Amino acid sequence: MEKETKKVKKEMRTPIESGCPDGFQYMHPTMRKNFGRWKYHEHPKPGVLKHVSKSDEEIWTVRAGTQRILDVYTLRKLCDIGDEFADGYVRFTIRSNIEYMVKDATKVDPLISALEKEGFIVGGTKNSVAMIAHTQGWLHCDIPGTDASGVVKSMMDELIDEFKNNEMPNRVHMTTSCCQINCGGQGDIAINIQHTKPPKINHDLVSNVCERPSVVARCPVAAIRPAIVNGKPSLEVDEKKCICCGACYPPCPPMQINDPEHSKLAIWVGGNHSNARTKPTFQKLVAAGIPNNPPRWPEATAIVKRILKVYKDDARDWERINDWIDRIGWPRFFELTELPFTKYHIDNWRGGRKTLNSSAYIRF
């Protein structure tokens, strides 16, 4: 027996700890040649960028939205298009769009036609609604309150024209997240799960599954304490203190936070990672209590569309959603979007006082 184990171990292959590969080897030759020597870019039409180098060489980029969770057939189809109509070089954007880079401007239109013929959506550049950044959800995550992929598919079906056109005041980056860890990240508009009830605890399992002191330490409001329940060591939650954040659930799955009815969607706006015009900003809560309603989540989509419409009508060129609201003020935002402003919009977390209006600045 011991010999056998040794034999198996001997056959195991030692990993090559090569880390992050060099992207240079996969870069289009024109980009390699002009690395660090680009002069300017133009935006001839939605989904297309033209970059010109200091030696007047051009590289044309065509950007397309996909389903993000790619099957190998779709991946190969994207490769086929790249081989036939582009030069066989691609990259992916941070929002999971695919980009083809070609040297020859005449290749751009046939490439676009080929992508569109196969059902991919060309766009997502400049002042469009970009592809919604998201994570796994029910398809793969261990703690999801919803299915980000489904929410995104449903919303992009309805926002597709805004992806394909450049009619927004500035770019709109949207994100979705299936729990409050917020893997989708900050967004101009973020659609995130917000739990509304404390975790339901399976006391029979806690002592076997959970390292209790680390679960106690994980709670942001110290609402969890060790307890003996039905004669077994377990944990209890002070439900008055609990903020239903779900932080205890990953380290202790018997503390189930997801609830088919009480896990709701919330919508946040004004997150902006860029330093342009203002320092980067975090997103702010605007709507909550939205039903988590598969397979199409129509209530959440309706609110997103309403916010986008008001932003599109009212914001000035180059204003991101945070810039726009900074100019018009929050009362006007709630008035224009017809969303209710409630006591829950007022921040009471530590540091929340700096979010209050400590001035006589009021718009009438």
Partner 1 sequence: MKKHDTPMLDNLEEGPWPSFISGIKKLRDDHPDDRVNAVNNDLLGQLEHSYETRKGYWKGGTVSVYGYGGGIIPRFSEVGKQFPASKEFHTLRVQPPAGNYYTTDMLRKLADSWEKFGSGLVTFHGQTGNIMFIGATTENTQHFFDEINDYGFDLGGAGPCVRTGMSCVGAGRCEMSNINEHKAHRLLVNNFTDDIHRPALPYKFKFKVSGCPNDCMNSIERADMSVIGTWRDDIKVDQEEFKKYVAKKGRKHVIDNIVTRCPTNAISLNDDDTIVIDNQNCVKCMHCLNVVPKALHPGDDKGATVLIGGKRTLKIGDLMGTVIVPFMKLESEEDWEKLVEIAENTIDFWAENALEHERCGEMIERIGLINYLEGIGIDAEPNMVAHPRESSYVRLDDWDDEAVKWYEKADSKKDTA
CB of 266 to partner 1, least distance (A): 13
CB of 327 to partner 1, least distance (A): 11
Taking CB under 8 A as the criterion, which residues in 41-80 touch partner 1? 41-42, 51, 59, 61, 65-76, 78-79
Query: The sheet that has 189-195: what strands, in order across it?
Result: 174-177, 189-195, 263-269, 284-290
Q: Which of 125, 128, 186, 337 binds partner 1 (CB under 8 A)?
A: 186
Using rule CB under 8 A, residue 82 touches partner 1: yes
Using rule CB under 8 A, residue 16 touches partner 1: yes
Chain center to CA of 325: 21
CB 133 within 8 A of CB 187: yes
Using rule CB under 8 A, residue 284 touches partner 1: no
Q: Which of 1, 7, 10, 19 binds partner 1 (CB under 8 A)?
A: 19
CB of 273 to partner 1, least distance (A): 4
Q: Token pair for residue 156?
A: 């992009």
State the Cα–Cα distance between residues 237 and 219, nearest whole angstrom.
10
Using rule CB under 8 A, residue 270 touches partner 1: no
Using rule CB under 8 A, residue 200 touches partner 1: no
Q: Which of 128, 146, 194, 301 binds partner 1 (CB under 8 A)?
A: 146
State the Cα–Cα distance between residues 59 and 155, nearest whole angstrom.
32
215-216-222 Cα angle (round to 5): 135
Using rule CB under 8 A, residue 202 touches partner 1: no
Burial class of 40 by CB neighbour count within 10 A (0 to 12, 13 to 18, 19+): exposed
Binding part of the chain for partner 1, among 183-191, 196-204, 299-307, 356-364 by CB under 8 A, reads: 183-191
Binding part of the chain for partner 1, among 130-138, 227-235, 301-309, 332-340 by CB under 8 A, reads: 130-138
Total Cβ atoms within 10 A of residue 117: 9
Using rule CB under 8 A, residue 140 touches partner 1: yes
| Per rule CB under 8 A, count of chain residues that contact partner 1 | 116
Own/partner long-range contacts of 209-218 (Cβ < 8 Å, ≥24 apart): 209/252, 209/253, 209/254, 210/235, 210/251, 210/252, 210/253, 210/254, 210/255, 211/251, 214/251, 215/248, 215/251, 215/252, 215/255, 218/247, 218/248, 218/251
CB of 324 to partner 1, least distance (A): 13
Closer of 280 and 340 to partner 1 (Cβ): 280
Using rule CB under 8 A, residue 204 touches partner 1: no
